[in-house]
A = this chain, B = another copy of it.
Amino acid sequence: MKLEQVEGYEYIEGGVCAAAGFVSGGCNCGLNPDKAKNDLGMIYSERICSTAAVYTTNKVKGAPIVITQKNLEATGGKARAVIVNSKNANTCNADGEQKAWRMCELAAQQLQIDPREVVVASTGVIGQVLPIEPIEEHIAQLAADLSPQNHEKAAEAIMTTDTVKKEAAVSFKIDGRTCRLGGMAKGSGMIHPNMATTLNFITTDAAVSAGMLQKALGEIVKITYNCLSVDGDTSTNDMVCVMANGAAGNTEITEEGDAYESFKTALYLVMLHMTKMLAKDGEGAGKLLECICEGAPDLDTAITAAKSVIRSPLVKCAMSGADANCGRVLCALGYAEADLDVHKIDVELASAKGSVMVCRDGNGLSFSEDEAAEILAEDEIKICIQLNQGNAKATAWGCDLTYDYIKINADYRS
């Protein structure tokens, strides 16, 4: 996957521990019967962190979401730790909030912090009671093993149907001070825009106030995770959480300006990279799809149009079959909830193998089917839409729809 390059920003290793002062770990506590797979993860910063989060907009909210929201409200956007499990979403259970709070207490006890300084998250099956004993029994071991080297263990602990772990990090400068920002993500199916997104934890050693951190997160999530669709379904447990501990020593960012913009670019690069990783690892995905919509009257129209195309099951099937069916793209633009003149639209399909114009002024074009099939046989496809109705531009990310998506989800709980 090609990484977007911006001068002054360097991609580095380290994931959620790339930033100074963060340690993490992960283990198998037994929620996952496969002992080789981690199911419990922790992140910790001794320095208190400004903490911002966005959550799913699903009305069925996981109990951990409810507890995390309460905690961050109580502390005014401060936290020191994250505790997270996979395999069980702790959602739609009568004792869900009690269990989520118990997870905070267990983590806090080990780290000798206030349980309200803990962010809690769960992902997995909905509607099954979360057994707390495996977590109680393994929390000490997990806390004892925390280290800056163990970022991969934490990244593995949040994987569900993910086939690869997802980490990204950059280093950059604010006030001449070197800062780092990195994160980890999980999420493969049940990922859809309009909603928070997926489970993501991002840490930085830059000093940023809780308010400016929340503002930056809101701006960047709109053009990254919220432009990602795997299947149009929206999870009950999704959360993106950013923690800033200030260990880099820059003057705390408390208002807009150059420092804020520099920080936001770092956040954008990491979230963009993780968005593309999430799309490419969508459940059953064979191809990464990128829909670039240009020439829109405004940003919201560009986003709506790009997302409508990326979400369409028929577009996704056509791309799976390397079928340059421009009708599927136009149809999805036609039902997008945006004010578009469909008679002005041009569509081009592209990959590393070249590009082919399939539609001009809303009308299908003749093209070499052989050439088109060769272009679409690649595993990263760009659907380039020119609306010819303005200057705004947006990109949405997704994947093709394949047999494996159905295989994975026909019997998800087993």
Kindly identify, within residues 304 to 343 of chain A, every residue whose CB is under 8 Å from any CB belonging to chain B: 311-314, 317-318, 320-321, 323, 325-328, 330-335, 340, 342
Stretch at the interface among A45-53, A227-235, A269-277: A227-235
Are A126 and B401 in touch, CB under 8 angstroms? Answer: no
A388-414 to B contact mask, C-beta < 8 Å, 1/0: 000000000000011101111111111
Are B313 and A232 in touch, CB under 8 angstroms? Answer: yes
Chain B: CB-nearest residue to A364:
B127
Are B127 and A317 in touch, CB under 8 angstroms? Answer: no
Stretch at the interface among A36-44, A89-97, A171-179, A260-268: A89-97
Flag whether A358 is at the interface (Cβ < 8 A). Answer: yes
Question: What would 9 more interface pairs be, CB under 8 Å, given A94-B361, A321-B411, A325-B412?
Answer: A58-B331, A58-B335, A59-B333, A93-B364, A94-B363, A233-B312, A234-B335, A314-B409, A323-B412
Q: A60-B334, A234-B331 are in contact. Are A323 and B413 (CB under 8 A)?
A: yes
Are B412 and A363 in touch, CB under 8 angstroms? Answer: no
Are A313 and B409 in touch, CB under 8 angstroms? Answer: yes
Determine which residue in A320, A335, A340 has the highest number of CB atoms from chain B within 10 A of its CB, and name it: A335
Flag whether A189 is at the interface (Cβ < 8 A). Answer: yes
Per the bound structure, the CA–CA distance linking A132 and B403 in Å amounts to 38
Kindly list chain B residues whose C-beta atoms are within 8 Å of the C-beta of A330: 60, 92, 126-127, 236
A115-151 to B contact mask, C-beta < 8 Å, 1/0: 0000000000111110000000000000000000000
